[in-house]
Amino acid sequence: MSRLATAITDRPDFLVIMTDQHRRDWLGCNGHPVVRTPHIDGIAARGTSFDQYFVASPVCMPNRASFMTGRFPTVHGLRYNGCHLPLEANTFVDVLRAGGYRTAAIGKSHLQPMIGRRLPARADAGPIAEAWKVDQDRYGEEQPDRYRGADGYGIALPYYGFDHVDMVTDHGTEAGGHYRQWLRRHYPHLADGPVPALPHAYSVPQALRPDMPEEAYTTSYIRDRAARYLRDRAASDRPLFTFVSFPDPHHPFNPPGKYWDMYDPAQFALGTRYADHKAPPLPLETLHADFRAGTPPAARTFPFMAHERHLREAMALTAGMIAMIDDAVGEILSALEESGRAGNTVVIFTSDHGDYLGDSDLLLKGPWMRESITRVPLIWSDPAVPRQPARCAALTSTVDIAPSILQRSGLAPFNGVQGRSFLPVLADETAEKRPDVMVEYNDANARQGYRSPARIRALMSEDWTLIVPAGEGWGELYDRKADPENIDNKWDDPTFADVRAGMTARLLDRVIGQMDESPKAVHPA
């Protein structure tokens, strides 16, 4: 009998905690030598840390939609930031809700645009500009104009399956949504206009020391709302699914209060440098050329190459933001214990994508596929399975979380889910594992040397990484075991032609298999 077969028969509660732009190796339990995360490490100590968990896409909106649907971006339709997850799309949260769960989202959602701009009509378009009929007014629930007042805006519920939504949009001191309305009521001097900045000695771009109490910052707001939600539903006669989503440690670099100088830049060592690459690929060469020319990125969300001092400063401030999240996680877990429901709650910790954060002298994320942005934390802690493996080395994807949660809840996934539950792998080391995992990247702009908006597919096996951008005439092939930092590209090396051909065939197979299988034919042939 497997360990899973001994689990309690009642449907468990779920608490999912997600961070934003958080590398896998930036946790104490995953081996970071400086960053201290005792509360997140505690979840890992009671559960399983996944060592090869990859995002479906290293971009916020597409990967969050993949988390919700168990489907890849090219299938669920939210392909890059600025799009939306169709309201017609089912999510695993819809399945839980239909199965009797109380469902709540507290914090960042980012399944709809949140920047206050609508897509302009193309100048060269006819009377119909797009292939799909889209009523943009239906996709404004995260737009800032909905949250102008001080009273909490009433989101149309259910929102992608959530019955309770406490929305936080954007990042740092510019965060909006229900959080901004709360600021207007409790800290009106911080609510409208730029947050005052305290003087500091850092010069890395986007470093801001906010002149605001820690209790007014988004991390504290989400912490308090989540803790209160869990306490208030201690006596619920229905199982709970609670999604708590922090906008940090995404840039800008602005930890408040004691978290600003909790870490010293001198504490951080740099890893792979630009000079380490034997043949830098085009996106990296382009960023290096911009750096040498002093050309700033076209947008603050675009990646850039930085001086060593700036890299270390970004690391120190990011560590401060992570430390604040870890403290918040500790308080949320304490509230869960106080509710009396911890013994029947599966706790999951993950992130939507990573950050170069010094990798090859870069900061932020972009259309150059590195494990620093594609490989993120995943921790699964189930109190009903006390002898879980401490670590899981199986290749795993964002699309696997939905079917895993549904299997644990005893509910069947809908037709069209592309992920596969990882619970059999946790229960039995001999269970069939993924032979590889695919990551998509789709861009809205041509940048970093790409001739057109990037369309990239990466395939990771146990031994190899293959990265192919469409229409560019070049690619990348790396030996994951002999060259874990991916600095020696074997794409053009004739010695590895058979490996390249084999991995390309496997990638082609995955891409062909991306067809949407929903809906099923009424009268199959």
Report pLDDT digits (tens) over 418-459.
999 999 999 998 899 999 999 999 999 899 999 999 999 999
How many separate domains does the chain show? 1
Decide if 509 is inside a domain: no
Answer yes or no: are the C-beta atoms of 212 and 254 closer than 8 Å: no
- What tokens were used for 238? 């229905």
Per-residue burial over 254-290, b if 16 or more Cβ lie within 10 Å, else e, is bbbbebbebbebeebeeebebeebeebbbbbebbbeb
Decide if 126 is inside a domain: no
Condensed to tens digits (0 to 9), the pLDDT of residues 303-352 reads: 999 999 999 999 999 999 999 999 999 999 999 999 999 999 999 999 99
Q: 136 pLDDT band (50/70/90 cuts)?
A: confident
Decide if 519 is inside a domain: no
pLDDT confidence of residue 4: 38
**Euclidean distance between CA atoms 27 and 32, whole angstroms:** 6
Strand partners, 345: 13
Q: 2 pLDDT band (50/70/90 cuts)?
A: very low
The stretch 399-410 carries a mean pLDDT of: 98
The average confidence (pLDDT) of the chain is 94
* Helix or strand holding residue 404 (H, E): helix 401-409
**Euclidean distance between CA atoms 499 and 479, whole angstroms:** 10
Query: What does DSSP assign to residue 195?
Result: P
Strand partners, 107: 167, 245
Length reported for the chain: 525
Decide if 487 is inside a domain: no
Decide if 75 is inside a domain: yes
Condensed to tens digits (0 to 9), the pLDDT of residues 361-383 reads: 999 999 999 999 999 999 999 99
CA angle 151, 231, 21 (to 5 degrees): 70
Decide if 22 is inside a domain: yes
Q: Which residues contact 359 (CB under 8 A, 6 or more apart)?
A: 271, 272, 370, 372
The stretch 76-93 carries a mean pLDDT of: 94
pTM: 0.96
Decide if 43 is inside a domain: yes
Encode 43-65 in three state secondary structure. HHHCCEEECCEECCCCCHHHHHH
pLDDT confidence of residue 1: 27
The stretch 84-113 carries a mean pLDDT of: 97
The stretch 80-105 carries a mean pLDDT of: 96
**Residue-range definition of the domain harbouring residue 337:** 4-118+134-435
Decide if 477 is inside a domain: no
Domain of 412, CATH number, reads 3.40.720.10
The answer, yes or no, to whether residue 523 has pLDDT greater than 60, is yes
